[in-house]
Structure 1
Amino acid sequence: MENLRIKAEEAKNGQLQAVNSDGSGQESKPDYDCPKCQDQTGYLKIQDGFEVWVRCSCVEWRRVQKLMRSSEITDEFKKLGFKNFRIEGKPELIQGAYECAYNYFQSFRDIREQRQNSIALLGQPGTGKTHLLTAIANNLMHKKHVGVQYFPYVEGFNDLKDDFDKLEEKMGRMKEADVLFIDDLFKPARGKARATDWQVEQAYAVINHRYLNHKPIMISSELQIDQMVEIDEALATRIYEMCKDYLVLIQGDKFQLNHRLEGMT
């Protein structure tokens, strides 16, 4: 109780210091993220005749903001959700991918500790794989307060190569994140998968750690599982075993499936 009163006094003092802070003799109005508690994460309330310190509802909001900042998801991707993913008039494969992603999010709490606790959306580019997985990530952070680490395969490995001093630290974050989202795994260039020995070695180290510790992954890739097997069988089979309950392969007429080509025919 004494600690709560000390915190309450600190909150009051912080409010007093805001007065006349501009030296004008006039009371200034500080710009708080949360006017309710004035960024103290709590406030005094009379309860049963006593002053008690009550935790502010903004604590949950602050937790979400921290998760979003640490996720490395871009501001543009933070706008992607299930509601702005269009399925009307789309082929059944796209609708099926949407349903799989939404069901995964809804079931996450129940499957999180299981072996099949992950999801993979595979197949042709432009079909919304990244959008759907980002929708899962955003909803996990906002609604379930689960941390997600975003790793775009091509840009991510370029960054790792450019900053070897922080390689261990970055790999550690990927291994230990609540959920790891690898976007465009083995992204092909000129028809050939990007999969150097070093990239495969690092990817295996991360995936194997998460596999052994039942930590969920979310994977998007243009490659099918059998094509990943040709790159590294141990890595591919771990991904398959983790994702097989929530795995969608999107393959067909690119003019029907690729939303960026919509209207060309």
Structure 2
Amino acid sequence: MVLEADFLDMKVCQPEEAWQWRETYSIRCECVERRKRERLMKSSDITDEFRKLRFQNFRIEGKHPIVVQAKQCALSYFSEFDNVRSLRENSISLLGQPGAGKTHLLTAVANNLIDRKGVSVQYFPYIEGTKELRDDFNLLTEKLERMKKADVLFIDDLFKPVKRVPRASDWQVEQMYDVLNYRYLNHLPIMVSSELTIHELVEVDEALATRISEMSKSFTVVIKGNRMELNHRLEGLKDV
């Protein structure tokens, strides 16, 4: 800590220089970091319920191997984030089967990036988010700018299908492409969950899909198979 008079006189030193001050030197108060994390979490639009989603409470006992692989991919992405964040392949995509835990795992990554690395994350639930933007155009520019400029953008349930038809109007595709292309050009990471595979995303918009594919090439898992084995919401209904 420093004396107020010394601080005002700009006599602030680093710990390694503290010998000059004997027992008086400057440190960053823990409350500063805590308040920073609180601000980042509040601005992320991650709900209180989703803040509880962590790697520790994602159960893999008895789960299909592809679900275990998805968790390992998410853990690896978090551990490697500092090394890859400025590279072309700096993103992660978990695709395929609904109910397999894609949102849980990517939210766990987001929560850890905020809490442990002080990284800003913007959460964008595709269905609710595009509806909000469409209903209030006054929010459009501000929201899109936040999505473009955040350290990490998390798009949840991109183009979520209805009866196997992707929800992707021309306007929705245009907004998503605008955001993703900006982040692609500026090497800003994205995290994407979607029930669509890359091939199915290509059918929606090839330019958008191939950018996602290129950015997340090192961290992509496609979850496909028997829904009774993969969708945790169907557990216990096998004989129904």
TM-score, shorter chain, exceeding 0.5: yes
Name the SS for the 1:83 alignment partner.
coil
Equivalent of 1:186, from 154, 159, 162? 159
Q: Distance in 2 between matches of 1:189 and 1:243?
A: 25
Give secondary structure in 2 for the equivalent of 1:107. helix
Hey, what does 2:109 align to over in structure 1?
136
Q: CA RMSD in A?
A: 1.7
| Residue type of the alignment partner of 2:63 | K
Counterpart contact for 1:4–1:53, Cα < 8 Å: no
> In the alignment, does 2:233 pair up with 1:230?
no
Q: How does 1:1-265 map to 2 (within 5 A)?
A: 2=5, 4-5=7-8, 48=22, 54-265=27-238
Deviation at 1:210, TM superposition (A): 0.2
- In the TM superposition, residue 83 of structure 1 has moved relative to its aligned partner by 0.3
Displacement, 1:165? Answer: 1.3
Instruction: Report if the CA contact (8 A) 1:255-1:262 is conserved.
Output: yes
Distance in 2 (alpha carbons) for counterparts of 1:106 and 1:53: 30
Q: For 1:233 and 1:189, locate their aligned partners in 2 and report how far apart those are by CA, in whole Å.
A: 20
What letter matches 2:152 in structure 1?
Answer: V
Secondary structure in structure 1 of the residue aligned to 2:87 = coil
Give the counterpart letter for 1:161 in structure 2: R
- The whole-number CA distance in structure 1 between the counterparts of 2:26 and 2:189 is 38
The TM-score, its normalising length taken from structure 2, stands at 0.90
In structure 2, relative to structure 1, the CA distance for the partners of 1:70 and 1:259 (3 Å cut) is: same
For structure 1, the 5+ residue unaligned runs are 7-46
Moved over 3 A (4+): 47-50, 52-55
What secondary structure is seen at the aligned counterpart in 2 of 1:115?
coil
Change (3 A) 1:49 1:242: closer
Superposed CA deviations along residues 147-173 of structure 1, whole A, max 9, x for unmatched, are 100000000000001110121111000
**1:98 partner letter:** K
Distance in 1 between the 2:89 and 2:187 partners? 9
- How far apart are 1:3 and its partner, in Å? 7.4
Q: SS in structure 1 opposite 2:161?
A: coil
Q: Once the two structures are superposed, what CA deviation does each residue of 1:105-135 show, in whole Å capped at 9, x if it has no partner?
A: 0000000000000000000100000000000
SS in 2 for 1:245: coil
Following superposition, the deviation at residue 181 of structure 1 comes to: 0.1
Larger radius of gyration: 1
Cα distance between partner residues in 2 of 1:55 and 1:143: 16
Shift in Å at residue 2 of structure 1?
4.6
1:212 to 1:87, Cα distance in 2 relative to 1, 3 A = same
CA 1:239–1:54 in 2, change beyond 3 Å: closer, same or farther? closer
Stretches of structure 2 lacking an aligned partner (at least 5 in a row): 10-20
TM norm structure 1: 0.82
State the SS of the aligned residue for 2:203.
helix
For residues 125 and 131 of structure 2, the distance between their equivalents in structure 1, rounded to whole angstroms, comes to 10
3-state SS of paired residue (2:67)? helix
Q: Which residue identity does 1:100 align to in structure 2? A: C
